């Protein structure tokens, strides 16, 4: 299906993916057997979100992974918050994430483009959150993330969520991001999803072409994307296969269990990772 021209209203074209993943989570929540159960997604759905969702409708496999990755990160966050209900959680490139409203506990920072956060403020204001929540607008690439986060620097353990972020960044941009995080937060854990180079080449070609037509690059220069984190002194705390867990959850659109079992590049090429970082000073 040809991709017709789309001119995003948001300042950053990658913000378009926030509307895409929102639409998928909305449809998941409205289904008979929700995987992610994002019960606030409907608050953000408008004509723009519906149109973007239709733009991505033909990408069955990527659409199937969106609620699964969201659920897996939900589960990791819920476990963290069960241990520390006052935990600071920083969601960078938050899009239409509603975890500060859905999960019990936490002091939340949501960081994203001004246009995205303006839409969030009008549809689901901070005042409705059961937990402490601050939204921080930033023009990525034009403003300093380190400056934006400096006021929240702490020696206490922090959780940073990078959902649907890293494969849109160049190697230099990823290094810059990790440099900021390791400077600002002395002890933190990063929860993120990453696709390896072979997985993208074998299973994500349609997605890459689709995003490129909309002005976005989606890639990985590494077969083992965790190597970048290890370079910065992180240790791998956990790794969960998105497609294997999709089968276990009974998610629609998942490849058959036998394929996940016998194709290691399919099973291990797209995972949710938890990386722990700590330094003395």
| 60 has pLDDT over 60 | yes
Residue of higher predicted confidence among 89 and 257:
89
Which uninterrupted H or E stretch holds 109? strand 107-112
pLDDT digits (tens, 9 = 90+) for 202-220: 999 999 999 999 888 999 8
| 4 has pLDDT over 60 | no
* pLDDT at site 279: 86
* pLDDT at site 86: 97
* pLDDT at site 12: 63
Count of alpha carbons within 13 Å of 86, Cβ hemisphere only? Answer: 1
Q: Is 105 left (phi over 0), alpha (psi -120 to 50) or beta?
A: left
| 188 has pLDDT over 80 | yes
Residue 53 and residue 27: Cα distance in Å, rounded? 10
What DSSP designation does 9 have? S
Q: Mean pLDDT for the chain?
A: 92
Please report whether residue 245 resides in a domain: yes
Count of alpha carbons within 13 Å of 38, Cβ hemisphere only? Answer: 28
What DSSP designation does 56 have? T
Provide the pLDDT confidence category of residue 253 given band limits of 50, 70 and 90. Answer: confident
Provide the pLDDT confidence category of residue 225 given band limits of 50, 70 and 90. Answer: confident
Residue-number span of the structural domain to which 78 is assigned = 13-278
pLDDT (mean) for 148-155: 96
Please report whether residue 3 resides in a domain: no
CATH of the domain at 248: 3.40.50.150
Please report whether residue 224 resides in a domain: yes
* pLDDT at site 5: 36
Please report whether residue 162 resides in a domain: yes
| 163 has pLDDT over 70 | yes
Number of structural domains in the chain: 1
* pLDDT at site 110: 98
Q: What number of other Cβ atoms are within 10 A of residue 204's Cβ?
A: 23
Residue 260 and residue 244: Cα distance in Å, rounded? 6
Question: Are 89 and 98 spatial neighbours (Cβ–Cβ below 8 Å)?
Answer: no
Please report whether residue 235 resides in a domain: yes
Please report whether residue 257 resides in a domain: yes
Residue 202 and residue 200: Cα distance in Å, rounded? 6
Q: Which of 26, 60, 41, 12 is nearest to 252 (CA)?
A: 60
Which residues are CB-neighbours of 14 under 8 A, at least 6 positions away?
A: 93, 140, 168, 216
What DSSP designation does 40 have? T
* pLDDT at site 2: 35
Distance of CA 279 to CAs 69, 190, 236, Å?
Answer: 29, 15, 15
pLDDT digits (tens, 9 = 90+) for 63-122: 999 999 999 999 999 999 999 999 999 999 999 999 999 999 999 999 999 999 999 999
The total number of residues shown for the chain amounts to: 281
pLDDT (mean) for 4-29: 73
Provide the pLDDT confidence category of residue 277 given band limits of 50, 70 and 90. Answer: very high
Please report whether residue 192 resides in a domain: yes
Please report whether residue 182 resides in a domain: yes
Looking at the chain, the whole-number percentage of residues with pLDDT higher than 70 is 95
């Amino acid at each position: 299906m040809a991709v017709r021209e789309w001119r995003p209203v948001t300042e950053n074209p990658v913000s378009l993916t926030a509307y895409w993943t929102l639409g998928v989570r909305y449809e998941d929540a409205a289904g008979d057997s929700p995987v992610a159960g994002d019960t606030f997604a409907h608050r953000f759905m408008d004509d723009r979100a519906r149109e973007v969702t239709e733009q991505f409708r033909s990408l069955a496999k990527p659409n199937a992974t969106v609620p699964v990755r969201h659920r897996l990160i939900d589960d990791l966050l819920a476990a963290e918050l069960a241990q520390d209900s006052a935990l600071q959680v920083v969601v960078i490139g938050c899009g239409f994430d509603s975890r500060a409203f859905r999960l019990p506990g936490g002091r939340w920072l949501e960081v994203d483009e001004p246009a995205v956060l303006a839409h969030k403020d009008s549809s689901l204001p901070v005042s409705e959150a059961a937990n402490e929540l601050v939204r921080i607008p930033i023009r990525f690439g034009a403003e300093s993330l380190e400056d934006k986060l400096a006021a929240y620097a702490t020696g206490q353990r922090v959780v940073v969520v990078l959902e649907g972020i890293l494969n849109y960044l160049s190697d230099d941009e990823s290094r810059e991001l990790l440099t900021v995080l390791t400077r600002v937060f002395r002890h933190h854990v990063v929860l993120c999803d990453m696709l390896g180079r072979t997985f993208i080449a074998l299973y994500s070609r349609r997605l890459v072409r689709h995003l490129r037509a909309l002005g976005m690059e989606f890639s990985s220069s590494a077969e083992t994307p965790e190597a970048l984190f290890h370079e910065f002194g992180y240790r791998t705390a956990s790794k969960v296969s998105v497609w294997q867990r999709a089968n276990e959850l009974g998610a629609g659109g998942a490849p058959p269990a036998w394929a996940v079992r016998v194709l290691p590049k399919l099973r291990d090429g797209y995972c949710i990772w938890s990386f722990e970082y700590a330094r003395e000073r």
